[in-house]
Amino acid sequence: MLNMLVTGGCGFIGSNFIQYLLKESDFSGRVINVDKLTYAGNPENLMDIEKDLPGRYVFVKSDICHLEEVNRIFKEYSIDSVCHLAAESHVDRSIVRPDVFIRTNIIGTFNLLECTRTARDQLELFHHISTDEVFGSLGKDGLFTEETPYSPNSPYSASKASSDHLVRAYHKTYDLPVTISNCSNNYGPYQFPEKLIPLMILNAVEGKPLPVYGDGRNVRDWLFVRDHCTAIWTIMKQGKRGETYNIGGNTEMENIRIVEMICDILDEYKKGEGNQSRRELITFVKDRPGHDRRYAIDFNKIKDQLGWTPKESLESGLRKTIQWYLDNAEWVNRVKSGEYKSWIEEHYG
């Protein structure tokens, strides 16, 4: 893997993955980051890489839905491996505007597969990043395994399920060297503050209401983003072509409990207005339509076959995440005010 195409590298997981790959892992090649820079993409996240490692990092502002453009990038940079992260990723947005999800997540993935099929001879690997949400919702018991039938419930998860099927089909039909990973909810530095954890941290810091959907008893498994990055790289290096791997954090938790943990950690720093506990900001709001009740993941396959396990507990990961958001107030302000968009216009047009 000398010339790795990373799609969506300016997003939350993509930024963390490129940082990990170029600064910490044993990857010795070059990363070509293709990102359209939607509201969720912020190239500032990789400014240090762009400055410090110019020979090993190239950024191309482009849309994976433009087949000719992607084909050109494959040729120009002699792409020999792909880590595909670009997607529309937020369930609430998919309920309001499913069309963008169908376009990027399905058509975009199809385009990339078509390009890799054309460049088949030089392609070592196409790794596709997906979600445990494709499996649908669990009852009180049980875990998603790699064999759990797909049963997606939101336009987001249905679009991701569709892209997973395409990747699998290209392996079966065209013998494309692919791997797929389905992971649980990520959290950590650089996450756009529309997802549960950063939204709650920032609202709690500002003394704003903490909107918990429904009864707050929905359960998610939480994966610290750096653990996800090490898992992706492990699969890319050692995973068996054609196989799928589940990745989890071993941290099942009800939403309400997560929000309470965030409040309690922030209270340790400084109590809220009038010395109140931040738990008083918790506000139950109307439930999300089609809200999946419980996700939980069995990651024994990657653990037993590839020797990967998550390092972070929920408590330690949350503390690191909260500290990062407190230490990076400028990043937060620029992202929340949309100011980073004018910076992007200036730099990338």
The residues annotated as belonging to the active site are: 132-133, 156
Q: Does 195 bind ligand TYD (CB under 6 A)?
A: yes
Select from 117, 232, 231, 129 the least CA-distant residue to 177: 117
Which residues between 229 and 288 bind ligand TYD (CB under 6 A)? 255, 288
Which residues between 74 and 93 bind ligand NAD (CB under 6 A)? 85-89
- Picked from ligand NAD, ligand TYD, none, the partner binding residue 11 (CB below 5 to 8 A depending on kind) is ligand NAD
- Answer left, alpha or beta for residue 7, where phi above 0 means left and psi between -120 and 50 means alpha: beta
Shortest Cβ 160–ligand TYD spacing (Å): 10
Q: What are phi and psi of 110, to 5 degrees?
A: -60, -45
Q: Does 13 bind ligand NAD (CB under 6 A)?
A: yes
Hey, is 296 helix, strand or coil? coil
Shortest Cβ 181–ligand NAD spacing (Å): 8
Select from 136, 171, 166 the least CA-distant residue to 151: 136
Which of 37, 91, 262, 332 contacts ligand TYD by CB under 6 A? 91
Shortest Cβ 54–ligand TYD spacing (Å): 35
Which of 192, 213, 324, 331 contacts ligand NAD by CB under 6 A? 192
Select from 208, 212, 200 the least CA-distant residue to 291: 212
Residue with smaller CB distance to ligand TYD, 4 or 212 = 212
The single-letter DSSP state of residue 297 is B
- Characterize the bridge pairing of strands 30-35 and 57-61: parallel
Cα–Cα distance between 87 and 94 in angstroms, integer? Answer: 11
- Picked from ligand NAD, ligand TYD, none, the partner binding residue 211 (CB below 5 to 8 A depending on kind) is ligand TYD
- Picked from ligand TYD, ligand NAD, none, the partner binding residue 244 (CB below 5 to 8 A depending on kind) is none
Hey, is 288 helix, strand or coil? coil
Q: Does 218 bind ligand TYD (CB under 6 A)?
A: yes
Q: What share of the chain is helix, strand, coil (3-state, %, to 5)?
A: 50, 15, 30
Q: Does 220 bind ligand TYD (CB under 6 A)?
A: yes
Identify the H or E element spanning 221: strand 219-224
**Which amino acid is located at 231 in the chain?**
A
Residue with smaller CB distance to ligand TYD, 109 or 153 = 153
Residue with smaller CB distance to ligand TYD, 142 or 290 = 290
- Picked from ligand TYD, ligand NAD, none, the partner binding residue 341 (CB below 5 to 8 A depending on kind) is none
Q: Does 160 bind ligand NAD (CB under 6 A)?
A: yes
Residue with smaller CB distance to ligand NAD, 165 or 279 = 165
Cα–Cα distance between 107 and 103 in angstroms, integer? Answer: 5
Cα–Cα distance between 210 and 230 in angstroms, integer? Answer: 32
Which stretch, 63-71, 202-210, 265-273, 286-294, contacts ligand NAD (CB under 6 A)?
Answer: 63-71
Q: Does 104 bind ligand NAD (CB under 6 A)?
A: yes
Q: Between the CA of residue 306 and those of 36, 115, 168, 230, 235, what are the distances in Å?
A: 33, 29, 20, 11, 7
Shortest Cβ 183–ligand NAD spacing (Å): 5
Q: In what order do the strands lie in the sheet with 219-224?
A: 185-187, 219-224, 252-254
> What are the structure tokens assigned to 346, written together?
């200036």
221 forms beta bridges with 252
Binding site for ligand NAD (CB under 6 A): 7-8, 10-14, 34-38, 40-41, 63-65, 85-89, 104, 108, 129, 131, 160, 183, 185-186, 192
Binding site for ligand TYD (CB under 6 A): 91, 185, 195-196, 199, 211-213, 218, 220, 255, 288
